[in-house]
């Protein structure tokens, strides 16, 4: 006797058996009881969520009559899909206009033994446009004994004219908890025991589809074992070692690059691809993020108790911003390693970056603090924590000495020679310093002029005004207001206007973004010259 797969043997046969689509089952049940059924229905949803099963159950209930002598045989035939009055049509195989015309012609025939002639068209989106057009009139005003049930996984491909003639029901993805509960029931019926982690993982791999989950369970049962262990499931399904993933995430959380490299190599040696390895790491980090934010008992965590504890432990070590950065890094790199010539080097570099994420984030915070404000802020005397705990007295003396030194620097008179020396030794300002001529320094107002030799670069010099002020402040702790003076103020205004016009041009902006450059000089070009 041939074997029947679990998805067919345990297919729902009543509205009460439907898993995950209880609201739709209740609505259809009530419509039948109230005699308010429509002439056409559209069932939409991803694969394996119960569209065809619901259509068969609905058709059986519509044609249910205890007065019929062959009532039991009719019910079984409808559920098998081979009844004379409930015709199932594959839209992919019967998609032409001629098939639609044949359907219209047969719709005029009265049912042989039931109340209704029902057409179930699966994957209806595969029909051609002429076929849809041929069905329009019949679907809008069919004979009183005809009903249509259309099923599709891609409702956006069904014309709006067809959808407007149907009652639409959207089948949602089935939750992993409900899939796991149904899998437990099936395993009890089959007399097979399984680790809780196995059921949880199979339900998760089903990704909202009951049929997909049952197909995976069929593969596990094909081995003939009466007890399914988690390690056996990993080998049979070719899944990455959960222990290797756990070790890798723990090493990342502890910033142990050596251990992380070892665990990552064990993961790769198990036969998993580089992008898949990054994917499972990002999933594990996502579990840690949820455990940290929502708690390990959150319904968002589709894990066993042991897995929840591991996620909670990792989440307690890393904070939310770091976990979010790690997940984004894994996702970005997983796309790159597929096409990179040095995929393994990129993968290992990513593992190292994950281990150093905390340090990089800390350094980024320091850099951000230094550039957030356009106007430099006064330096604060903050003692950095040392490896060896110092006494309060030593720290107090140290802060006092640093404060005295800083105060002396602030009170020291500022001289142009010191400013010129600072600018001459600053990258990006060395050349500018040679073009500047000191005019006056009154209080915090510094006035300089631009030498004739620097006139061709006047736009670039003017653009560095803020940088010069920041360099002087950072070196001499003096906040000054820099003013440029030229012999011809109209030339300066003209140059500034030209600079603003050119910098606002979209081609110049695109070039600056591409080369990360700065407009140094603007000048007119004779159009007659090449």
- pLDDT on residue 285: 92
416-515 falls under which CATH superfamily?
DnaA, N-terminal domain (3.30.300.180)
**Does residue 272 have a pLDDT over 60?**
yes
Mean of the pLDDT values across residues 297-322?
85
Mean of the pLDDT values across residues 244-261?
90
Q: 6-170 adopts what CATH topology?
A: Rossmann fold (3.40.50)
Where do the H-state alpha helices sit in 63-207? 71-80, 97-107, 129-140, 160-163, 176-190, 196-205
**Does residue 330 have a pLDDT over 50?**
yes
Q: 176-237 adopts what CATH topology?
A: Helicase, Ruva Protein; domain 3 (1.10.8)
Res. 25 pLDDT band, cuts 50 70 90: very high
Mean of the pLDDT values across residues 489-505?
55
Domain residues of the chain, as ranges? 6-170, 176-237, 242-361, 416-515
Q: Specify the pairing of strand 436-442 against strand 227-228.
A: unpaired
- pLDDT on residue 367: 47
Q: Specify the pairing of strand 40-44 against strand 146-152.
A: parallel
Res. 490 pLDDT band, cuts 50 70 90: very low
- pLDDT on residue 398: 46
Distance CA 424, CA 286 (A): 51
Distance CA 460, CA 458 (A): 5
Res. 514 pLDDT band, cuts 50 70 90: low
Distance CA 486, CA 456 (A): 13
Q: Evaluate if pTM is beyond 0.75.
A: no
Identify the sign of the CA torsion 98, 100, 102, 104.
negative
Q: Residue 495 has which token pair?
A: 């140059």
Res. 530 pLDDT band, cuts 50 70 90: very low
Average pLDDT taken over every residue of the chain:
80
- pLDDT on residue 375: 45
Distance CA 6, CA 21 (A): 19
Distance CA 462, CA 436 (A): 11
Q: Specify the pairing of strand 193-194 against strand 481-485.
A: unpaired
Distance CA 333, CA 198 (A): 29
pLDDT in tens, 426-484: 877 777 788 888 888 887 788 888 877 777 677 777 878 888 888 887 777 778 888 88
- pLDDT on residue 358: 61
Mean of the pLDDT values across residues 302-310?
81
User: How many CB atoms are closer than 10 A to CB 99?
Assistant: 17
Q: Residue 469 has which token pair?
A: 């002020």
Tokens 């207001």 appear where? 481
Q: 242-361 adopts what CATH topology?
A: Zinc Finger, Delta Prime; domain 3 (1.20.272)
Q: Which residue has the higher pLDDT, 166 or 519?
A: 166
- pLDDT on residue 512: 65
Distance CA 214, CA 184 (A): 11
Comparing CA positions, the residue from 251, 231, 229 lying closest to residue 241 is 231
pLDDT in tens, 82-116: 888 888 898 888 888 898 888 888 888 888 888 89
pLDDT in tens, 350-408: 999 998 876 655 544 544 555 454 444 443 333 334 434 444 444 443 454 444 444 44
Mean of the pLDDT values across residues 283-300?
89
Mean of the pLDDT values across residues 209-236?
87
Mean of the pLDDT values across residues 200-204?
88
- pLDDT on residue 41: 95
Residue 96 phi, psi (nearest 5): -85, 170
Mean of the pLDDT values across residues 311-323?
88
**Does residue 491 have a pLDDT over 60?**
no
User: How many CB atoms are closer than 10 A to CB 442?
Assistant: 7
pLDDT in tens, 145-163: 999 999 999 999 999 999 9
Range of lowest pLDDT (51-65, 67-81, 308-322): 67-81
- pLDDT on residue 383: 39
């Amino acid at each position: 006797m041939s074997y029947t797969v679990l998805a067919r043997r345990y297919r729902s046969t009543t509205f009460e058996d439907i898993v995950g689509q209880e609201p739709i089952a209740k609505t259809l049940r009530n419509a039948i009881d109230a005699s308010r059924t429509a002439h056409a229905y559209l069932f939409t949803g991803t694969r394996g969520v119960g569209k065809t099963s619901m259509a068969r159950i609905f058709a059986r209930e519509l044609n249910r009559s205890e007065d019929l002598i062959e009532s039991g045989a009719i019910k079984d035939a409808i559920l098998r899909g081979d009844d004379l009055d409930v015709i199932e049509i594959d839209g992919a195989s019967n998609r032409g206009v001629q098939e639609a015309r044949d359907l219209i012609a047969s719709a005029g025939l009265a049912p042989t033994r039931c109340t209704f002639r029902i057409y179930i068209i699966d994957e209806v989106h595969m029909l051609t446009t002429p076929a849809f057009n041929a069905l329009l009139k019949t679907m809008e005003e069919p004979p009183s004994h005809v009903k249509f049930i259309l099923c599709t996984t891609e409702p956006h491909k069904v014309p709006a004219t067809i959808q407007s003639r149907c009652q639409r029901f959207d089948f949602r993805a089935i939750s992993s908890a409900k899939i796991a509960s149904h899998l437990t029931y099936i395993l009890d019926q089959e007399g097979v025991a399984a680790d809780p982690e196995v059921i949880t993982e199979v339900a998760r791999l089903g990704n909202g589809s009951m049929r997909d989950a049952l197909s995976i369970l069929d593969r596990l049962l094909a081995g003939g074992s009466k007890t399914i262990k988690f390690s056996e499931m990993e080998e049979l399904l070719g899944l990455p070692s959960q222990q290797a993933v756990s070790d890798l995430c723990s090493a990342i959380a502890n910033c142990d690059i050596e251990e992380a490299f070892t665990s990552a190599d064990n993961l790769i040696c198990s036969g998993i691809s580089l992008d898949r390895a990054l994917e499972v790491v990002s999933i594990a980090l996502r579990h840690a993020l949820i455990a940290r934010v929502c708690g390990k008992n959150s319904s968002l965590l589709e894990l066993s108790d042991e897995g929840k504890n591991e996620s909670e432990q990792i989440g307690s070590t890393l904070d939310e911003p770091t976990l979010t950065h790690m997940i984004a890094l894994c996702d970005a790199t997983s796309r790159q390693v597929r096409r990179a010539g040095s995929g393994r080097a990129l993968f290992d570099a990513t593992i190292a970056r994950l281990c150093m994420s905390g340090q990089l984030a800390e350094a980024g915070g320091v850099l951000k603090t230094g550039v957030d404000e356009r106007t430099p802020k006064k330096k604060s005397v903050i003692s950095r924590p040392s490896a060896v705990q110092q006494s309060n007295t030593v720290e107090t003396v140290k802060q006092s000495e640093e404060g005295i030194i800083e105060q002396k620097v602030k009170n020291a008179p500022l001289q142009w020679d010191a400013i010129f020396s600072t600018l001459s030794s600053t990258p990006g300002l060395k050349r500018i310093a040679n073009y500047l001529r000191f005019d006056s320094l009154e209080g915090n107002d510094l006035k300089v002029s631009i030498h004739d030799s620097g006139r061709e670069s006047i736009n670039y010099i003017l653009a560095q005004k803020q940088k010069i002020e920041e360099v002087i402040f950072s070196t001499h702790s003096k906040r000054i207001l820099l003013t440029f003076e030229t012999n011809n103020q109209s030339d300066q205004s003209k140059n500034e206007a030209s600079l603003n016009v050119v910098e606002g041009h979209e081609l110049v902006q695109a070039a600056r973004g591409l080369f990360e450059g700065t407009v140094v000089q603007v000048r007119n070009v004779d159009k007659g010259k090449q």
